[in-house]
Amino acid sequence: MCYAEIDGVGMDIYKDPITDTGKKSKRGQLKLINLNGEYVTVRKEEYTDIADELVTVFENGELFNEIDFVTVRKNASE
């Protein structure tokens, strides 16, 4: 989780453990972009000219883009 809206107010959610700085997480609304052939996660407001590669799978109790396991394995091997 990196972002939440409560009563219409958006807020960044993140972790920053004192004991392990390597576990620090990204914060805010994020998107996945293909930048020079490499997938990179960035804040939603960055790189506005590059399309978000993420797709909605589950939202508000509704399942979108249902795929079977064979397709998942095929996508993972590509």
Residues 14-67 pLDDT 10s = 898 999 988 888 989 999 999 999 999 999 999 999 999 988 888 889 998 888
By residue range, what is the domain housing residue 70? 3-77
Task: Supply 47's token pair.
Answer: 């790189």
d(Cα 19, Cα 31) in Å, to the nearest integer?
Answer: 28
Residues 6+ apart with CB under 8 A from 28: 2, 3, 12, 43, 44
Confidence of residue 74 (pLDDT cuts 50, 70, 90): very high
Structure confidence at residue 45 (pLDDT): 93
Total domains in the chain come to: 1
* CA–CA gap between residue 34 and residue 41 (Å, rounded): 9
The pTM of this model reads: 0.65
